Amino acid sequence: MNIRPNNPTQNPRRRPLWPITLLALLLLLVTAPGTAAVRASLDRDTIYSDDIFVLTIESDGQSSGQQPDLSPLEKDFEVLGTRTSTQVRIFNGRRSDKIQWHVQLQPRREGQLRIPPIDVNGQRTNAITLTVNEAPQQPALEIGQHVFIESEIGTGDKPVYVQQQIPYTVRLYYNNRLQEGEISAPEVENAVVERLGEDKRYTTVRNGREYRVIERNYVISAEKSGNLSIPPTRFQGRIAVQQQQRNRRPRNPMDEFLTNSPFANDPFFRNGLLSDPFANPGQPVNIRSRAIDMVIKPRPTTASNPWLPAETIELGDSWTENPPQFVVGEPITRTITIQVMGLSSSQIPELNIAEPANTRLYPETPTQENRTDGKTIYGLRTRTLTYIPNAQGTLDIPPVTLNWWNTRQDKPASTTLPAWQFTVQPGTASGAMSEAQETRSQAEDTAQNNPRWLIVGGGILLALVLLWAIGVRRAKKQQRVHAPVTDENGLPAIEQPHPTDRKSALRELEKACAANDRHTAAQALLKLGHSYWPDDPPHSLSVLAARIETGQTPLRELDRSLYSAETTDWNGNTLWDVFKHGLQEKKAAGQHYDDGLKPLYPGSL
């Protein structure tokens, strides 16, 4: 087992911030305006051999007349045209400029083609890989059609398992005769269908004719094994019908103007507000893609539980402080993230997080989110944990392992967060005891080296111990007699009730439980505990739970609810049913348990 040790010194000190500030200033100088960064991106990374795609080159900084050198592209691509756009933003008085070149390209061959780095005024873009596939053969029936539709799945020859996500792509091809239309979403029995991102629009050539394309991507997850049938995707629309010249009515001056207008060939303008809606109602079309049948395999016998068929899984681990400094009684927050490629966040299971020894662990409700790159889903699940050590020494946090099924390699896999090991420093009270022990040790060493100072050293040691004991006793007495208005966190502290206030504490508890007010309920319980033990009142719910015969479970639930970020999961009816008749003291009431820790919410308790 790999363990990441972290052993801070006995007296950890904060590092000065001036080196970080100086480094930030240096970075600002290095990245100051004048050194423009350039980037390159594609509108899609997989095309057919006849497709036309767009390469976007982006440069930060004001335009100085520079142009990208497109000559390296001519080896594998035909440059069809370039369009330039500029953007200017002013935020908080600072101006930022951006220039974009949109280059239309068509591949000269099939295969894995490389978009080489493009030089822009001495800066070079990143290289990009493009996959060019052979254009599918179009059925003879579709040759010469004005609109047709295709569908395909992206699993290749690999097996597909139950609950695994299946990429499903629909492409609508049309020319300028299309007036309107709608693509229906696939409806698959015993499966979940989810659409990914927005539609992609581009131009391609099929059988020597140019078509515009609308590409839409889905993922399909089969809910049971066996045969899966993906029905055809439908398109219903309307195309314009060419009318004979002799059947047309005589043109008026407005017709002549619109016909000779540069917008006359624009489908939107031609069929828009300035056209005659009754001149060409069009011909309805109703077409379908091919149906797809496939076999869904059951979960393998060697797969782990829970079943997680995914392409990749990544686990992330972070702390509020890096590295964290653990101190007795002080909370430290840890965040664990799970990112799964090929599964939604709802399919990601809960992680089994073990509670370390001598430590309280408070997990919060996880958050989940789905992201997509237009081709697949990325499920993201985040879990926040709070550790509160109650003893100094070594804190061992065990590793976290998530077992899953690798759909790329078709075999079981696992991802693990390594174990942690920390040194827990003593808290405030423990620190005072350590100082007293250190003073006593020094006195003993002095006495051994010089016997004449034995009596003097013993007297000094005794005086120090007496002073420390008197100070602690006086502080406790003042805390009981004169309760402070606010606690150390600046929050209101409750007054210690008189024993005769037992009935009023029960009334407060009843009202708080009826209103599901967990903070007021905790205050009322501690007031009630003070009426039972006026000389040694409990200062936390955990101490109160150790002194009573029954009711520990609802007290622990209330304690966890107080620390949790969620505010709607606690129900006060159960708590009131247990304590409506008061507290039942333990029969063997010897020494009361006290963990020596501050309450989680000192201002509320």
pLDDT tens figures, 189-236:
999 999 998 899 998 888 788 899 999 999 999 999 999 999 999 898
The yes-or-no verdict on residue 242 having pLDDT over 80 is: no
Please tell me the least confidently modeled range out of 354-368, 398-412, 476-490, 524-538.
476-490
* 81 or 308, higher pLDDT: 308
Spatial separation of the C-alpha atoms in residues 245 and 251, rounded to whole Å: 11
The predicted structure's pLDDT at residue 458: 66
Tokens of 549: 């015969």
In a domain, residue 7? The reply is: no
The yes-or-no verdict on residue 536 having pLDDT over 50 is: yes
Asked if residue 291 lies in contact with residue 189, where contact means CB atoms within 8 angstroms, the answer is no
Spatial separation of the C-alpha atoms in residues 202 and 42, rounded to whole Å: 12
The predicted structure's pLDDT at residue 93: 67
Average confidence (pLDDT) over 408-413:
92
- Rounded to 10 deg, the angle between the 552-563 and 518-532 helix axes is 130
Start-end of H helices in 362-501:
428-449, 454-481
Q: Before 5, cis peptide (omega within 30)? A: no
In a domain, residue 5? The reply is: no
CATH number for the domain that contains residue 179: 2.60.40.740
Pairing verdict, β 309-310 and 400-406: parallel
What domain range is 466 assigned to? Answer: 428-481
State the total domains in the chain: 5
First-to-last CA distance in the chain?
Answer: 41
In a domain, residue 8? The reply is: no
The predicted structure's pLDDT at residue 293: 93
The yes-or-no verdict on residue 273 having pLDDT over 60 is: no
Query: E strands along 72-138, which residues?
Result: 77-91, 94-107, 111-115, 119-120, 123-124, 128-133
In a domain, residue 25? The reply is: no
Amino acid at 542: S
Residues 369, 462, single domain; the answer is no
Banded pLDDT at 3 (limits 50, 70, 90): low
In a domain, residue 16? The reply is: no
The yes-or-no verdict on residue 595 having pLDDT over 50 is: no
Residues 325, 408, single domain; the answer is yes
CATH number for the domain that contains residue 347: 2.60.40
Report the C-alpha dihedral over residues 133, 135, 137, 139, rounded to 10 degrees.
Answer: 130
Q: How many CA atoms lie within 13 A of 190 on its CB side?
A: 11
Mean pLDDT of the chain: 77
In a domain, residue 13? The reply is: no
Spatial separation of the C-alpha atoms in residues 181 and 164, rounded to whole Å: 32
Residues 407, 528, single domain; the answer is no
The yes-or-no verdict on residue 84 having pLDDT over 70 is: yes
Banded pLDDT at 438 (limits 50, 70, 90): very low
Residues 569, 445, single domain; the answer is no
Residues 349, 419, single domain; the answer is yes
Residues 128, 67, single domain; the answer is yes
Cα three-residue angle 425-427-430, rounded to 5 degrees: 100
Spatial separation of the C-alpha atoms in residues 305 and 307, rounded to whole Å: 5
In a domain, residue 163? The reply is: yes
pLDDT digits (tens, 9 = 90+) for 6-50: 544 444 444 555 455 445 544 544 444 444 588 999 988 888 877
Residues 290, 174, single domain; the answer is yes
* 336 or 430, higher pLDDT: 336
Residues 336, 375, single domain; the answer is yes
The yes-or-no verdict on residue 339 having pLDDT over 90 is: yes
The predicted structure's pLDDT at residue 544: 86
Average confidence (pLDDT) over 230-257:
66
pLDDT digits (tens, 9 = 90+) for 555-581: 888 887 776 655 556 888 888 888 888
Of 111, 103, 118, which is closest to residue 52 (Cα–Cα)? 103
449 vs 445, 453, 456, CA distance in Å?
A: 6, 9, 13
Residues 292, 323, single domain; the answer is no
Please tell me the least confidently modeled range out of 43-57, 72-86, 505-519, 589-603.
589-603
Residues 147, 291, single domain; the answer is yes
Please tell me the least confidently modeled range out of 60-74, 159-173, 397-411, 504-518.
60-74
The yes-or-no verdict on residue 441 having pLDDT over 80 is: no
Banded pLDDT at 153 (limits 50, 70, 90): very high
Q: Which of 83, 106, 133 is the last residue of a domain?
A: 133
* 426 or 48, higher pLDDT: 426
The predicted structure's pLDDT at residue 209: 84
Residues 554, 525, single domain; the answer is yes
In a domain, residue 224? The reply is: yes
The predicted structure's pLDDT at residue 556: 82
Burial letters 151-171, b for 16+ CB under 10 A, else e: beeeeeeeebbbbbbbbbbbb
- How are the residues of the chain apportioned to helix, strand and coil, as percentages rounded to the nearest 5? 25, 35, 40
The predicted structure's pLDDT at residue 516: 86
Residues 468, 489, single domain; the answer is no
Q: Which of 83, 109, 133 is the last residue of a domain?
A: 133
The position carrying tokens 């005086």 is 463
